[in-house]
Structures are given as C-alpha cells and as structure tokens.
Amino acid sequence: MKETQLLKGVLEGCVLSIIKEQRIYGYELVQMMRNYGFTTIVGGTIYPLMQKLEKQGLIKSTELASPDGPNRKYFFITPEGEQQLENFKEQWGSLIVKVNRILEKNGE
C-alpha cells in the first residue's frame, strides 16, 4: 500500500494538530508537513482539505498583512476543531495499539 493511501485517513488530524500550535497560511503548512517528512504533500492536497475543514467549522481564516508582499490567508483552529483533534488522537492511539498487536503477534 502506498503511503499516500495511508495518509488520507490521518491527514486531517495532522493538519489540525499543526494549526492548533500556530496560526499558519497554506504554503507554510505544506512546507511544515514536508519538514516532518511528508515529502509528497503538495498544495493540491492541502488547500482542498483546508477548505473542507473551514466549511465544517473546524478552522477559521483571516487575511493578515504579509511582510513579503500581498496579504495572506491565515488559518486557526476553532473550539470544534480542538474537540475533533482530541477525538482523532483517541482514535489514532487505539488504532496504533490494535495494529501493533497484530504485527507483533505475527512476528513483524
């Protein structure tokens, strides 16, 4: 299975976690994901996800002046987004335990 297929299910949680730590704009988020080792992440993956999260009320955006040119659209997490992130962390932790049990039992 390709990493991109595995990542689809967890990308939302990763994005919410990063946005919780700091207000961020889209390109900066793509670069941060790459710095974490997700080298295949592109804007075409992140921007639609950001729109979806904003439509769901999990993040909000505001335009702020940029020292490097035109205004940038910065994103920040909402209380609903923080709750969704906590739910993701619980589900992710549970999934890790189950998968590790299977892999360890089968000598992987």
Specify the amino acid at residue 51.
Q
Q: Which domains does the chain have, with CATH numbers?
A: 3-105 (1.10.10.10)
Cα–Cα dist 50/57, whole Å? 11
Give 73-98 pLDDT, tens digit per residue.
999 999 999 999 999 999 999 999 99
Cα–Cα dist 30/33, whole Å? 5
* pLDDT (0 to 100) of residue 63: 93
Is residue 75 within 8 Å of 60, Cβ to Cβ?
yes
pTM, to two decimals: 0.87
